Structure 1
């Protein structure tokens, strides 16, 4: 599995209703997309939930890398690039991606990016982050949890979908978003 996210920083006076309409119009179009586990359409407005800027920042989890490639090479992404410019797309190798029933009804999301210490035991970090993702979904604390890492900058990601956002989520390394829509794709065969 692979996770990816691009984040479009928008001007401070940008009318975020434009992004809300875009999510409403385009969100359902990815339902059934091959190899997509889910896409969370995310937005952050300056001054809301601790955000310092206006952002449109969808987060994707792909069952297979071919899904990400097909999407990025397709007309939908080209339309986004035509409207906003060609964004940098961050990717992570997914260790664990868990979803609970009703995860498509999420109202909030958090993304935390943490450094991996030099020469750390990756297997231990993978086990710990994977176990935590599994546990918090099974306990009902979150609607979805993704844990993964990126071996170019040696960082790891923790992504969560929430029904209600706990105050403990508002932290230094945590970007908080409102969820406009969650699309689910078509599982990969076999």
Structure 2
């Protein structure tokens, strides 16, 4: 996973509550365990009806998605953060997230930021009225700036450390490789070996 420090990019407004993981990536596209190939199916059902907000030219290429409460509810599919990330999003901002979805985001390096509803509303309104406005999301400073709007946000310290260093779960394990190797050297010869 690549390290996350700060992101500058346009904001895409998705002014909807209770967006579940089946809307983010529909079940018929979950035929692979690879982390790639999903971005094209982001919000597939909504997009095929035409005039979906994220398909408007002014929101294409946005890196920050601002949305309503309870984002990522529903099933615990890891594919949802993979899909958002592959579609170009680095940050999701909402008043609340489903816990499993938030954890899955952290595991792949996608920053899920919780802001009060009035702050989210200000960002949604800004992205709608002035779609060319860019937001700066700074994880180290824990700030979001867009136009004349600025917010502080909270992030769990261990998640912040992981994101800043680009440590996914495998990366965390590899940090203890010397201890793992030392343990393996002391195991009895008759036990199975890790090769």
- Identify the structure with bigger relative contact order (alpha carbons < 8 Å, sequence gap 6+): 1
More strand by share: 1
More helix by share: 2
**TM-score (norm. length: structure 1):** 0.28
**TM-score (norm. length: structure 2):** 0.27
Greater Cα radius of gyration, structure 1 or 2:
2
